[in-house]
A and B are shown apart, each in its own frame.
Chain A
């Protein structure tokens, strides 16, 4: 199972964290520090796995962003690498050529998408389309809500004039 997902930039700035196993705030900070310290200096040709306290962390770098997932020691590292890639592809499809800034300013959306890709530390859906569909459905509801709000505020504005 996946214990946590971690995104950080080349400078070690955290972009997203999602914990599927219970970790206290202190442990989280420590894990982030240890992992970013361990992963960032690794060269490009080395393998994409590091040991971390008896677990394994699989990471992959996309532009300036590192995607990390922590898995059990018996899990399949290559599979996890593909799960990361799968997530990135969905992000890419959603944001349209995703870049770090998209994730910086819309991290909550990245979370929503992650919730559709992983649940309870397991990959839940291997079809990109259906993820896109659920997220789009959510967004359209939001848009509807927004319009409603907008029209409400219009009405209010008119009433108060």
Chain B
């Protein structure tokens, strides 16, 4: 029966096909419809394209036939094939006198061409002519094409005609003309800005559809700048009032709702106008209230208006009564069975909590239901909401959820998005360093290649710096737990390169530090990493450097280093690598093994990645050398400006000036090095380090490495500067809040422990002021969330409490969330166990005590970074024994870690803060070194 009907319909269709489709075309459509597979469909289409290509190019194709060909081209293009050979014919068809053909021509061109296509220029003339046509249908067709095809350059060609059409007698034409102006405004605001009065005038057009088009245009203009349109508020409000009161023609009703699309547009504009403007907003309260009460929540369109009204209310200057109403509405949305309503409810809630964070409290369970809903879209929206309401008390739960979700998706776009959010939240609110490291590991594991390299560097830096230095034991524990977790992670089959780099670095630096793993074991692991990633030179570089470090530590501690055959063959392989960088690292390892133990211990001391290195930018240590050179008759040094005025050497980089002399031949030979790029080769900082070391050394290694040294000094100097720039950047990108916060919160946990033991908490409290106020809010809420507990299932209660209540997430989360938080409690310092023992209330009290004292400290903390660097009393942070933030040890780390991909002839790898090594460059004759220049 069904089939009969279909056949009947087809017959009816083909008989009325008058519109120009021939049998041929119908057959094509049918064949495609019946195609069994994608391949078959492709074949049919490709055959048709060939046919069309041939036929369309024939001379004297009848016009009607041509029209059909064009429609077939549209069809072909719609199915995703290229029909560009026919574009010109579509353009030609717009010239046709017959409306039908013209309309088809315009349709095809608007579908085929983008506004930057080169054929557009051919169509301008036709459009100009058609815009002046007597037939309003021709005008409409041309206007539709204008909206799609006119670009910035061609706007002036049609603008006058369109302005004329604003007063066309047909409303359909006026409406489209206004829309065309809106489109022009989007393309190039300056070209139509003089027409704003005309567009405003169109608000009073006698036809509502023209008014609606004017609203579209005004919306775009007000989005760009609301100030000049504030005086429209009154008229817009009165229009909205009229619409709501059903004064527009019935024609514009939609499901018995008066002109809903116009209402929504108006609400959007009012939201823009009233944002942060009390006076303007007050004018709107009345009509907004009217919409809220009149709104029909039983229809979809009614809900659309109500939702828009809620978002307007949350955007304008708040009115408590209306917001209350909006909150009730939101609650209704959330309670609805309909997923669409729930979705809108979550969205509305996200808007309302910006004004009043408390309002989420009432909807805890609804939110959790949405979070656990099988609907992916709803879940994402809810995670969005959670992201907006994250604070330090619930960050672990929320991040845990986000990671859990990230694990399940494959959409790279959203994964990037969510991983960057997790990182942001973790950096901002991390309760402890442990937690931060665990979280980051998970992010790397699931979204590895989508995470920016900077995050990895921040992580390594955190591990190296620890909690800020005052608690060395805790730092060591942190490191060994990091090592443990990485050894575990290495068991996973496929790991992203970034994570492997972090792992290698941490294993190299701290793998043997706590003595629980033998050097052979760690080296074995590192060899495995290098072998498992034959194509990844960066990872290999990290691995071999890590091995070098471990060997050095072993030797430094006076133990014998016996390399396994596996490791030897790796070194062998790398020393013949195509990458000079890897080669060099391998040779350095071999050279290091040949040194005596004491030297090695000085060259590569344990855990020195954070040590301070002073940079003597004035190169005072060269003074004696310079002096003697001058005495021997060398020319004196000229600063860059002087040089330029003399020789006009412009190619010289400004940073070369410190020791380059006027030996003009040398200048061109060395390219200005790039600023360090975090992801690839930032071996410059290493160079800096080496260079610094140069000064402070004794020369015992000089001989060994003399052979390697080449044109170092020029680049070194440049890099001194680059690195100092970088220093600021790093401080900044790590972000003040995090940087303070991470150590702060761990301190505060220790602090809690102490206060339990009866010590004064004041000297330790370092919470930020914001955090403290949050905490007290949290505390007050704790009571409410407790009250609600009994009725609901236990798991949800817990989740709700940790999301919303927030006062006792610590004790709960450690039992609930498996990986991350559990570890925190396990391996954190013994004193920080206190909060677990001291029950919720106690810890809450402490928190509040903590927060009250923290406020004044918080002020201090808001010192600008630069000042921080300068002042010695760095608010507890700096007085630890490992380096405080002032030294920015990270740049040194980077040097160690990064594998330079450029084959620069320096030696990034060699060691850490070793005083000794570098003096070698001082005297080694190298083409670019200052000595030569001086003498020459």
Contacts and interface: CB of A to CB of B under 8 A. Distances in A.
B107 interface: yes
Contact of B137 (A83, A86, A99, A138): A138
A145 B252 contact: no
B451 interface: no
Contacts of B79: 14
Contacts of B340: 47-49, 77-78, 81
A92 interface: no
B511 to A, nearest CB: 41
A108 B80 contact: no
A127 B248 CA distance: 11
Contacts of B264: 76, 79
A130 B209 contact: yes
A108 B260 contact: no
Nearest to B74: A108
Contacts of B200: none
A17 B107 CA distance: 12
A51 B114 CA distance: 25
Given A101-B10, A105-B29, A120-B179, A83 B261 contact: yes
B704 to A, nearest CB: 55
A151 interface: no
Nearest to A81: B300
Contacts of A120: 147-148, 179-180, 182-183
B140 A126 contact: no
Interface stretch (B286-294, B372-380, B481-489, B925-933): B372-380
B762 interface: no
B133 interface: no
Interface in A35-80: 45-51, 53-54, 76-79
A127 B251 CA distance: 6
Interface string B40-80: 00000000000000000000000010000001001101111
Interface string B878-894: 00000000000000000
A78 B6 contact: no
A122 B182 contact: yes
Contacts of B417: 54
Contacts of B182: 120, 122
Contacts of B303: 78
A149 interface: yes
Given A111-B107, A112-B107, A124-B209, A46 B259 contact: no
B252 A101 contact: no
A134 B377 contact: no
A47 B378 contact: yes
B782 interface: no
A77 B19 contact: no
A18 B19 contact: no
Given A78-B303, A83-B261, A124 B80 contact: no
| Most-contacted residue by chain B among A32, A120, A129, A145 (CB, 10 A) | A120
B99 interface: yes
Contacts of A45: 339
Contact of B251 (A86, A129, A141): A129
A77 B348 CA distance: 12
Contacts of B18: 146
A64 B100 CA distance: 31
A83 B208 CA distance: 17
Contact of B377 (A22, A47, A109, A119): A47
Interface string A5-28: 000000001101111101001001
A86 B175 contact: no
A22 B186 CA distance: 14
A134 B141 CA distance: 11
A85 B137 CA distance: 25
Contacts of B179: 119-120, 122, 124
A48 B137 CA distance: 36
Given A77-B340, A146-B18, A82 B301 contact: yes
B264 to A, nearest CB: 5
A82 B254 CA distance: 9
A104 interface: yes
A17 B261 CA distance: 23
Nearest to B304: A78
Nearest to B176: A119
Nearest to A17: B78
Given A47-B340, A126-B259, A79 B304 contact: yes
B80 A29 contact: yes
Interface string A75-115: 01111011101100000000000010110111111011001
Contact of A82 (B6, B176, B252, B260): B260
B378 A79 contact: no
Contact of B64 (A13, A81, A101, A149): A149
Contacts of A130: 171-172, 209, 251
Interface in B287-343: 300-301, 303-304, 307-308, 338-340, 342-343
A30 to B, nearest CB: 10
A48 B341 CA distance: 10
B140 A134 contact: yes
A79 B114 contact: no
Contact of A134 (B137, B262, B374): B137
B98 A145 contact: yes
Interface string B122-166: 000000000000000100100110011000000000000000000
Interface string B349-389: 00000000000000000000000001111101000000000
Contacts of A146: 18
A125 B175 contact: yes
A86 B254 contact: yes
B78 A16 contact: yes
A134 B116 CA distance: 30
A104 B33 contact: yes
A46 B78 contact: no
A13 to B, nearest CB: 8
Nearest to B107: A111
A142 interface: yes
A38 to B, nearest CB: 9
Given A47-B339, A119-B147, A124-B175, A82 B300 contact: yes
Contacts of B29: 104-105
B304 A76 contact: yes
A127 B99 contact: no
Contacts of A79: 260-261, 264, 301, 304, 308
Contacts of B251: 127, 129-130
A137 interface: yes
Contacts of A53: 413
A106 B19 contact: yes
A145 B100 contact: yes
Nearest to B267: A76
B111 A111 contact: yes
Nearest to A79: B304
B104 interface: yes
A49 B377 contact: yes
Contacts of B17: 105
Nearest to B99: A141
A51 B254 CA distance: 27
Contacts of B172: 125, 130, 134
**B6, B77, B140, B180: which has the most chain A beta carbons within 10 Å?**
B140
A86 B180 CA distance: 22
A112 to B, nearest CB: 7
A126 to B, nearest CB: 5
Nearest to B184: A120
Contacts of B212: 123-126
Q: List 4 A-B pairs, minimum CB-CB distance, nearest first.
A: A78-B304, A47-B339, A120-B147, A46-B375
25 contacts: A13-B33, A16-B78, A20-B148, A29-B80, A32-B80, A46-B375, A47-B338, A50-B377, A54-B413, A79-B260, A82-B261, A99-B9, A101-B13, A106-B13, A106-B19, A107-B74, A108-B71, A112-B103, A124-B212, A125-B209, A126-B208, A126-B260, A126-B261, A137-B137, A142-B19
Given A13-B32, A25-B77, A125-B212, 7 more contacts: A14-B79, A18-B111, A81-B304, A82-B304, A105-B13, A124-B175, A125-B172
